[in-house]
Amino acid sequence: MRPGDILWYAFKGLKDRKTRSILTILGIMIGITAIITLISNTSGFDNFLTDALSRIGSNNIWIIPVEGAVKFTDTDVMMVSRLPGVKAAAPFYLTRVMLKSGPIEKQVNFLATDPRIIKLILPDLELLEGEPLQPADVAVVSLGYKVAHPPEDPSKSIRLYSSISLLFQSGKSVKARSFMVGAIYNEFGSTPYLDVDNSVLATVEAARNIFGSKYYPAIVLVASSPDAVEPLISMLKRIYGDDIQVISPLTIVRNVRAIISNFSIFMLIVASISLIVAGIGIMNTMIMSVMERTREIGVLRALGFTQKHVAAVFLAEAALIGAIGGILGITLGVSASLFMGDVFAKMFQVREASTLVGQALQISYTPVITPDLLIKSFFFAILVGVFSGLYPAIKAARMDPVQALRAE
């Protein structure tokens, strides 16, 4: 008997039992969809973290005073800059302000630090036009790409050397300050903690004049290497104790990866259980099919079908269930992966964080759907089908032809 005949006969067997076959295929489809969605989104998120860490600098450390505890001054900046493993240190400001420039009026981030440390904090940040800020600049700012070129209205833009107004909340009143745009940065992209494209960058002197305080809301340190980050965090904790919060992209990414890894393992177990249940469903369907077709099996044996031919027919039915469920699962899995990628990205966005440095969280990633993932998922679905149909196929093949012909 030719393989094509076996496949045709197996397909006819599934077609004669449409409802049962559809329900069994549905189980395989759900399991494959879950696996593709999970693996593609986990890989996409991991790539996002890797890319973000490479762009924002893995050596950065932010220290923020707990409210009502320590207050940072120039003395603190000088002291932490002399710690072993510190390459550079500077005061750091980050808050939300209202920007006005002609018809443009929008909420943006106000980011201020020593301009000389900007390239160390954000190594991939590049100027699109203008000149870099100088430490003594008090009336000049630089704009992130989306501030200068609002994506919501491409017809409006802020030109180089134009004037802008920034509105700050000062106690119960709102103060306004005017600045000249001295530079516009190229598009930087999303990072796990700083949305540079939607930020106005200024110097420490400009921030001092605006807020009228000699105390700094945060200090940023750049470690000499990633290996120096953890020892520095330990030293800072020993110096300041519980009076500070420490934020490090490297430790954040490590913790997030650990959480995602544990969550992925859990979800893979759930997806595997769904495939096991689907496999049991296939086995149940095939056993019921063998029982219902006992007389048919006897007729096939009487016509000259060998035990191998009978087993091949039922294995082919199980493999077809797996193949059809795999194809449908891949189709649905690709669509679900893209949809869930958007859903997860929106879930992880935090625009109003509890700390200044934690504000404006922007996460955007693309699920990684590779041909290798799709091919492996397809063959895995077939393998589940064949493995689940093995026992019923053997049971059908070993059936006594005489007894089978006598069955009603």
Question: Does 401 lie in the same domain as 286?
Answer: yes
Average pLDDT, the chain: 83
Other CB atoms closer than 10 Å to residue 241's CB: what's the count? Answer: 11
Residues facing residue 177 across a β-bridge: 166
Question: Does 174 lie in the same domain as 277?
Answer: no
Structural domain contains residue 232:
no
DSSP structure string for 169-201: EETTEEEEEEEEEEEEEPP----SS--GGGEEE
Structural domain contains residue 397:
yes
Question: Does 358 lie in the same domain as 284?
Answer: yes
Residue 130's contacts (CB-CB under 8 Å, 6 or more residues apart) are 142, 160, 161, 181, 182, 183, 184
Question: Does 50 lie in the same domain as 104?
Answer: no
Q: Residue 183: its pLDDT value, please?
A: 95
Q: Stretch 237-242: mean pLDDT, rounded? A: 90
Question: Does 87 lie in the same domain as 48?
Answer: no
Query: Which range, of 235-244, 296-305, 378-387, 398-407, averages the lowest pLDDT?
Result: 398-407
- 179-to-138, 173, 217 alpha-carbon distances in Å: 8, 20, 22
Q: Do residues 118 and 196 touch, judged by C-beta distance below 8 A?
A: no
pLDDT in tens, 31-80: 899 888 888 888 887 777 777 666 666 788 999 998 777 889 999 999 99
Question: Does 73 lie in the same domain as 14?
Answer: no
- pLDDT of 4 > 80? The answer is no
pLDDT band of residue 82 (cuts 50, 70, 90) is very high
Q: Residue 190: its pLDDT value, please?
A: 64
Domain end, chosen from 224, 241, 261, is at 224
Question: Does 73 lie in the same domain as 172?
Answer: yes
Domain end, chosen from 174, 209, 224, is at 224
205 vs 177: CA distance, rounded Å: 14
Structural domain contains residue 196:
yes
pLDDT band of residue 232 (cuts 50, 70, 90) is very high
Q: Residue 114: its pLDDT value, please?
A: 93
Domain count, the chain: 2
Structural domain contains residue 328:
yes
Task: List strand residue ranges (DSSP E) for 14-125, in order.
Answer: 60-65, 86-101, 104-113
Structural domain contains residue 247:
no
Q: Stretch 140-169: mean pLDDT, rounded? A: 90
Question: Does 309 lie in the same domain as 392?
Answer: yes
pLDDT in tens, 337-385: 888 766 666 655 544 444 444 443 455 678 888 899 899 999 999 998 8
Question: Does 380 lie in the same domain as 315?
Answer: yes
Q: Residue 193: its pLDDT value, please?
A: 65
pLDDT band of residue 192 (cuts 50, 70, 90) is low
Question: Does 71 lie in the same domain as 48?
Answer: no
Question: Does 205 lie in the same domain as 87?
Answer: yes
Q: Stretch 171-179: mean pLDDT, rounded? A: 84
Structural domain contains residue 14:
yes
Q: Stretch 227-254: mean pLDDT, rounded? A: 86
Structural domain contains residue 261:
yes
Question: Does 25 lie in the same domain as 72?
Answer: no
Q: Stretch 163-177: mean pLDDT, rounded? A: 84
Question: pLDDT > 70: what percent of the chain?
Answer: 89
- pLDDT of 13 > 70? The answer is yes
The number of helix segments (H) and strand segments (E) in the chain equals 12, 10
Structural domain contains residue 277:
yes
Model pTM?
Answer: 0.61
Domain that holds residue 205: 60-224
- pLDDT of 109 > 70? The answer is yes
Question: pLDDT > 90: what percent of the chain?
Answer: 30
Residues facing residue 169 across a β-bridge: 174
Other CB atoms closer than 10 Å to residue 6's CB: what's the count? Answer: 17
